[in-house]
Structure 1
Amino acid sequence: MSRRTRAALILACATLLVPLTGCSSGHDDNKASPATHSSEPSAKATPTPSTTQPAVQQPPELDAGERLAGRQKATTGNAALAFTKGKKGDALIVAVRCQGAGKIKVAVRSVHISFPLECQAGEVSTTYNQVAVKGVEHGGVVSVEASSAVHWSMTIGRGTPAQEESPTSTAESL
């Protein structure tokens, strides 16, 4: 199963936790835009086992066609990372790699998006989130709240919003 397909399944469950005022398969600036990497609210979240990932010191890589907007090398504790403005219709990609026992909270306050991550001691995991809601084309800041026991790195990117995947096709591919 591909990283993007797993992400769709994970986000299908997470979607129930994030209220939206409207969704659209188009690129209407007043509504959330669905993502191909996942289901609404246009985010992809995929933990990746450490056997296929480099150490946490290396920030996650973006996929082909995605553009760098910010990068943070290995860090512990709380931090904030600014990201550059994108093009109208761009999605914001927030990729976090972490290791160490504990939780971290990642927030893009300008668009009221946040997500928690559970990090494990002795295991490096990477989570990709793609957000395509009104306002993400603007520059801003991603804030991370983490305990000193958790080491993390981050890559922020820009890309074309993904196409919506149906829950049926995702479930069948498992």
Structure 2
Amino acid sequence: MSHARSTAVLLLLAAAVGCTSEAGAPERPAPSPRSPSPPAATAGRSPAPRPSAPVAPPQLDSTAGAHGPARGNAAFRYTAGARGEALTVTVSCQGSGTLRIRIPVLRAAFPVECGIGEADATGADFDLPAAHRAGTVHVTAPPGVTWAATVGRGESAEPPPL
């Protein structure tokens, strides 16, 4: 019986200590109209979004691969093509910064400057002996830049050797 009483006393004591009344709690002063709002109240809010055109993979006549819209670094594959076709990599981006585009199978790389306004499409054509091979495009992007890319194939700009 003493064990049961001890348990009951402990439970009542725990309940009394765990509960608080608002009468004992200090009042928080009301913010004055001149004081700034507390940082915690504004930390979760972001500025109103600016209207802009969405970033989408650029349209090409022949698509071998595409990726996006994306943020941050990424790599994506593209399929093989016929010998003698040129490889085109076109990137559309929006945000402030420079993308670094790398195509390892071609041992090629190029930068793309992005702007804050509407998404612009920029690209490069590769008329190299290895352009028919399948490969991967690696994109290194700074924070805050949204991008999309398309890899296409087309006729070679140079005439074939005789």
Tell me the TM-score normalised to structure 1 length.
Answer: 0.58
Measure how far apart 1:56 and its partner are: 4.3
Does structure 2 conserve the Cα–Cα contact (< 8 Å) formed by 1:100 and 1:123? no
Q: Percent identity?
A: 36
Does structure 1 conserve the Cα–Cα contact (< 8 Å) formed by 2:53 and 2:118? no
What is aligned with 1:88? 83
Q: Does 1:59 align with 2:80?
A: no
What is aligned with 1:136? 131
Letter matched to residue 57 of structure 2:
P
Letter matched to residue 102 of structure 2:
A
Match of 1:77 among 72, 81, 93: 72
Taking the aligned partners of 2:59 and 2:142, their CA distance within structure 1 comes to 24
Does structure 2 conserve the Cα–Cα contact (< 8 Å) formed by 1:56 and 1:152? no
What is aligned with 1:48? none
Query: How many pairs align?
Result: 108
Taking the aligned partners of 2:65 and 2:87, their CA distance within structure 1 comes to 11
Letter matched to residue 79 of structure 1:
A
Measure how far apart 1:147 and its partner are: 1.1
What is aligned with 2:157? 162
Q: Which consecutive residues of structure 1, in runs of 5 or more, have no partner in the other structure?
A: 1-53, 165-174
Higher alpha-carbon Rg = 2
Listed one character per residue, the Cα deviations across residues 51-90 of structure 1 (whole Å, up to 9, x for unaligned) are: xxx934321011xxx4210011210110001000000111
Provide the alpha-carbon RMSD of the alignment: 1.7
Measure how far apart 1:122 and its partner are: 2.4
